[in-house]
Amino acid sequence: MKLSEEDVDIIVGAYREIVLGTGINKLDEKVSYTKTESEQLVDKIENKRDSDDFSLSCGEIKMVRNLLTDLLRELDAFEFSTRLGYEMDEVFLLFKRVKKAVDSTCY
């Protein structure tokens, strides 16, 4: 799955909002990733800018999907542009691409 700079910004923003801002322990439902796992994934994604050979495993793509799902569930539509710098529609388009990548890579 190829990630643009905007995709990376959205994923990093999702991590900051969900893992650091909201806090995994405060979410209503049990999430499928730990703070450490999500931190390692975001580090890998942020560092992808320096690598031509970048790929995500099935589990990592699923974690991105889950981060975006949690973000879409937790924020109200008006909060996206203020907190992330992107509109909810832009985040949802990335979510759809990631979901498609999960379906094609993992199943």
Q: What is the 3-state secondary structure (H, E, C) of 32-77?
A: CCCHHHHHHHHHHHHHHHHCCCCCCCHHHHHHHHHHHHHHHHHCCC
Report pLDDT digits (tens) over 59-82.
999 999 999 998 998 899 999 999
Report pLDDT digits (tens) over 8-33.
999 999 999 888 876 655 554 556 77
For residue 91, what pLDDT is reported?
97
Q: pTM for the whole thing?
A: 0.86
- Identify the domain containing residue 81 by its residue range: 5-49+57-106
Residue type at 69 in one-letter notation = T
| Structural domain count of the chain | 1
Q: Model confidence at 7, in pLDDT bands (50, 70, 90)?
A: very high
Burial 32-59 (b: 16+ CB within 10 A, else e): ebeeeebeebbeebeebeeeeeeebeee
| Cβ(38)–Cβ(94) below 8 Å | no
